[in-house]
Chain A
Amino acid sequence: MGRFVLRRLLASIPALFLVSLITFGLLWLVPGDPASIFLDTSATAEELARVRRELGLDRPFLIRMGEWYLRLLQGDLGTSLLLNRSVTSAIFERLPVTLSLTALAFFFAVLIGVAAGVVAAVRHGKAADQGMMTLALLGLSIPEFWLGLVLIWSVAVLVPIFPAGDYVAFAKDPWQWARHIALPTFTLACVQMGFVARMARSSMLEVLGQDFVRTARAKGLPEPYVVLRHGLVNAMVPIVTVMGIMVGGLLGGAVVIEQVFSIPGMGRLIIGAVLSRDCPVMQGGLLFLALIYLGVNLLVDLLYAVIDPRVRLE
């Protein structure tokens, strides 16, 4: 098992390298002079020069890349052009917020999605099945940011049950934290819930038709036990496979949801950087998100090996 982990870690190094290359190379896509795009036309030559120096545009390409990597390995992602503070500190300040939102949404999406899928599979063809699948289809067709706005309008403004935005740290006030994070979490989880529910249902249906489930029933085991211990455990295997992609979707969605609900997380940071052409922050944020995503995928691979012993032979 330990060797399996090591092999997976080593396999992700080239991906890491390429990811950082892409992030770095993004700057190059900018048509024209990146420095002048950041500042407006009234910028003095001095300011332009300063920005150019910050971005390292006054040095040859390879040297620039080398310096960038050197700083990267030291954990230095540069300085924000806008906020005039280190990118790393800005990211670390916002990271916990985004991670907690994403983690919560992931948890609910899996919990409710799998439960819905199992119920739909067991009640295959009946009203409960059709109803749940219709809801799931709606869920994954809805634009998240729009859903967020509609929810804010309906249950935060019209009928003020939830607050309309903002974020309260858990440490400061757990109850308010819960109230504030409820709508964003639900909105974010909605789309993925639909995916998981459909996957879980089709996976369960397939597993429940397999021979070993028939054997379990032939042994006289109670039906709920058969469905869960024999059925669900095996049905989870393909679902675990897509958990990595799920997190990717959630991270992407979190970025947008933070905008809608005014939550001070990584998403808002990156979007702010995007709109103001703050390249170092954009690069740093992108890199970090990719790192998180790669890390999650690695965890998923490991989880997969834990659940399905056949994988460990590879």
Chain B
Amino acid sequence: MAAASASFPPTALPTPTGRPSFVRRLFANRSFTIGLLLVGTVAVLALLAGVIAPFDPLKGNFRARLVEPNAMYWMGTDHFGRDILSRVLFGARISLQIAFMVALITALAGVFIGATAGYFRRLDNPIMRVMDAFMAFPSIILAIAISSVLGASVTNVIIALSIAATPHTARIVRASVMVVREMEYVEAARALGAGHMRILLRHVLANAMAPLVVRVTYVFAVAILNEAVLSFIGVGPPPPAPTFGAIIANGRDFIIAAPWITVAPGLAILVSVLGLNMLGDGLRDVLDPRMAVATR
């Protein structure tokens, strides 16, 4: 015997909740906006590298070797007399290009593989076994191995990093797909005769979007870090490409005499990755409050 609380038949319609739009909530999130600002600044500077770099990053001035940061060389010069600021700007461009391609390829491959594994039950086990096998290698080591075997070049770095990042992405997509696959409205759509492809695209992928977007942001950030590691070790894009890792590797020998060579590119990496992480946090908070990290 429960107490009644609403009248029947209803005498008034329920009012809409009036929640602010997705975009507004996104920009109200502090983590997202600061992250966007940081990444945006780096991206703009990188894209305009060719225009705003004061010097040629590859040309050395032998009379200006190992100069401390001053009015002419804002970040100093290295042992060849090359302007560090210009090298960092072009390094940013290379890094962002590589990371962007890696994120794109990983997203596409991850969605394709993950959706296939998640939706078609019979393919699930074999596909995921292969993914698990790849995930058995720490990703940076896998990337180093593949990159070294293929040879040093921008393309090979992209391939290596993509291969390293795809399995985990596929796993995330697969999980989302499996959740939606079981839902009743998918059954209903199937009963109405909708084909696999259509169901997949409309219902299933829409659900996977949120974790995928967060994951891709993360992949982008890690790609920047890993590309720097590859370059530092020597299996990245070949010299004289002014990648962050290469600059740091060069600067290592002169760390006492000229610490600025090492400090500048490292800070650039730090700022880019920090911005991306904050961006990712903000996205995650807004897309799925249950996964919220920054604002709770």
When A and B assemble into the complex, do they touch directly, with CB atoms less than 8 Å apart? yes
The answer on a CB contact under 8 Å between B252 and A149 is: yes
Which residues 1-24 in A have Cβ within 8 Å of B in the complex?
14-15, 18-19, 21-22
The complex places the Cα of A137 from the Cα of B221 at a distance, in Å, of 13
Taking the complex as formed, is B209 at the interface, i.e. its CB lies under 8 A from any CB of chain A?
Answer: no
Taking the complex as formed, is B80 at the interface, i.e. its CB lies under 8 A from any CB of chain A?
Answer: no
The complex places the Cα of A277 from the Cα of B147 at a distance, in Å, of 12
Tally A residues with Cβ within 8 Å of B: 50
With A19-B133, A137-B274, A255-B141 already in contact, the answer to whether A26 and B229 are too (CB < 8 A) is: no
| Smallest CB gap from B271: residue in A | A141
Taking the complex as formed, is B256 at the interface, i.e. its CB lies under 8 A from any CB of chain A?
Answer: yes
The answer on a CB contact under 8 Å between A140 and B266 is: no
- Residue of A137, A153, A274, A289 near B262 (CB, 8 A) is A153
Taking the complex as formed, is A138 at the interface, i.e. its CB lies under 8 A from any CB of chain B?
Answer: yes
The answer on a CB contact under 8 Å between A255 and B140 is: yes
The complex places the Cα of A160 from the Cα of B151 at a distance, in Å, of 39
- B residues near A140, Cβ cutoff 8 Å: 277
Interface string of B27-56 (1 = CB under 8 A from A): 000000000000000000000000000000
Which residues 108-150 in B have Cβ within 8 Å of A in the complex?
129-130, 132-134, 136-141, 144-146, 148-150
The answer on a CB contact under 8 Å between A150 and B266 is: yes
The answer on a CB contact under 8 Å between A142 and B270 is: yes
Taking the complex as formed, is A29 at the interface, i.e. its CB lies under 8 A from any CB of chain B?
Answer: yes
With A146-B248, A150-B262 already in contact, the answer to whether A31 and B225 are too (CB < 8 A) is: no
Which residues 151-172 in B have Cβ within 8 Å of A in the complex?
151
- B residues near A249, Cβ cutoff 8 Å: 138
Taking the complex as formed, is A307 at the interface, i.e. its CB lies under 8 A from any CB of chain B?
Answer: no
Interface string of B255-273 (1 = CB under 8 A from A): 1100100110110011001
- Residue of A18, A143, A286 near B133 (CB, 8 A) is A18
The answer on a CB contact under 8 Å between A145 and B256 is: no
A259 CB, nearest partner CB in chain B, Å: 7
- B residues near A202, Cβ cutoff 8 Å: 292-293, 296
Taking the complex as formed, is A294 at the interface, i.e. its CB lies under 8 A from any CB of chain B?
Answer: yes
With A30-B149, A152-B255 already in contact, the answer to whether A145 and B141 are too (CB < 8 A) is: no
- Residue of B129, B232, B294 near A145 (CB, 8 A) is B232
With A249-B138, A286-B141 already in contact, the answer to whether A205 and B225 are too (CB < 8 A) is: no
Q: List 11 A-B contacts (CB under 8 A).
A: A18-B132, A26-B146, A144-B229, A145-B229, A149-B262, A198-B293, A202-B293, A249-B138, A251-B141, A256-B229, A259-B233
Q: B-contacting residues of A (Cβ < 8 Å)? A: 14-15, 18-19, 21-22, 26-27, 29-31, 124, 133, 137-138, 140-147, 149-150, 152-153, 157, 198, 202, 205, 248-249, 251-253, 255-256, 259, 270-271, 274-275, 277, 282, 286, 289-290, 293-294
Q: A-contacting residues of B (Cβ < 8 Å)? A: 129-130, 132-134, 136-141, 144-146, 148-151, 221, 225, 228-229, 232-235, 248, 252, 255-256, 259, 262-263, 265-266, 269-270, 273-274, 277-278, 281, 292-294, 296
If A249-B138, A252-B141, A293-B138 are given as contacts, then 16 extra A-B residue pairs at C-beta distance below 8 Å, sorted by A number, are: A15-B136, A19-B133, A19-B137, A22-B134, A26-B145, A26-B146, A29-B150, A145-B232, A146-B248, A149-B262, A150-B266, A157-B256, A251-B138, A251-B141, A286-B145, A289-B141
